[in-house]
Amino acid sequence: MKKINPQALLIAKYLNEWLEYHVPSIKACSPHTKRNYETSVALYVMFLRSVKQISPKTLSAQCFSLENMNEWILWLKEHRSCSPATCNVRLSALRAFLKYMADKDIAFMTSYLQAETVPNQKTPKRKVVGLSKMAVNALFTVPNQRTTRGLRDYTLMLTLYSTAVRINELLSLKIGNIFTDGPKPRIIVIGKGRKKRPIPLLAKPVQYIKQYLTECHPNPNNPDALLFYSKSRGIYVPMSAENVNKLLKRYAAIAKKICKEVPLNLHAHQFRHAKASHWLENGMNIAQISYLLGHECIQTTMVYLDITTEQESKALETLENEDQRKLQKKWKMANKGGLEEFLGLPLIGAAD
């Protein structure tokens, strides 16, 4: 019987170290990023097994060739219906894993360097649909604040807009990171790369957060409880972003009758984008906006706000200094055994 390639054992070892230790601990990536990395590598392994007939006995550094990676990108588009943006995300994750292996063992350096030469797919620039101040005000009139759900939803929308945090940052916000008393009310959110940043709270959000905690939250004195939690799963499990977007769309349908500027396909990210745009319109320093948004550089904020060349100089003056693919996610542990099981990866179902 043919023995397993020694390099295959190394790849399996490095993959486990990378996913279980390096990504969450050294790089301090979020669980979401870790899942994305795991899925991306699992898709490459699925390609190797199903298209290239690679097994644990034949897995080696040569499997990560330029030819294979280019063919994988085409396979993602043709057989998985992945958008160009999704293909770029998958490729970026594979590059990260190959870089980790190359840093550990020079035998994988060629594979990493070849991955760096695989061209990214061209993606059309997607502009966030604007949310005007009139639209925001119309949305705020819809929730019935006399009900528990209405008060929760109003507080969620108000906090989302007034702080411009990412939806996942808000949904992971614990009561212990909310400071409503004292001269400088604030929340402390955990952003990308597990970085903490304080966000100041204005008087109105402070008022409604206090009211929501007093009247609606089952355990407002528990610092580890989430501010916006899952009703069915308890105070330590966050509401899902999908549920937030569903409730926003319901409110948008009603608010549309009040203000035609309200987009029917409303989602949480539009509140963040809208607030950043309104800050800029009101003359806020672009560096302050960049910090509050959690961006690492001002240029990211420029691109995020879709600032044109003409607008850029004006904005700098204030310094004085994947369409989501429409496939169901399927995680089926069928056909046990083979390359995925050897590497400890989930077996991904075939695309519809």
**Residue with the larger pLDDT of the pair 342 and 239:** 239
Q: What percent of the chain has pLDDT over 70?
A: 88
Out of 125-129, 189-193, 230-234, least confident range: 125-129
Look up residue 246 and give its two tokens.
Answer: 């569903």
Q: What is the pLDDT of residue 272?
A: 92
Q: What is the pLDDT of residue 328?
A: 41
Please count the other Cβ atoms lying within 10 Å of the Cβ belonging to residue 31: 9
In tens, the pLDDT along 15-60 reads 999 999 999 888 877 787 889 999 999 999 999 999 999 999 999 9
CA distance 91 to 325: 16
Please count the other Cβ atoms lying within 10 Å of the Cβ belonging to residue 159: 25
**Residue with the larger pLDDT of the pair 335 and 206:** 206
In tens, the pLDDT along 100-159 reads 999 999 999 999 999 999 999 988 766 666 789 999 999 999 999 999 999 999 999 999
CA-CA-CA-CA torsion sign (139, 143, 144, 145): negative
Interacting residues of 294 by C-beta distance below 8 A, sequence separation 6+? 165, 166, 169, 189, 191, 192, 195, 197
Please check whether residue 285 is in contact with residue 316, taking contact to mean a CB–CB distance below 8 angstroms: no
Look up residue 36 and give its two tokens.
Answer: 């994305």
Residues forming beta bridges with residue 229, ordered by sequence position? 238
CA distance 195 to 4: 41
Q: What is the pLDDT of residue 342?
A: 82
Q: What is the pLDDT of residue 322?
A: 37
Write down the mean pLDDT value for the chain: 87
Average pLDDT over residues 166-191: 94
CA distance 157 to 151: 10
**Residue with the larger pLDDT of the pair 167 and 336:** 167
- DSSP assignment of 133-154 equals HHHHHHHHTSS-TTSHHHHHHH
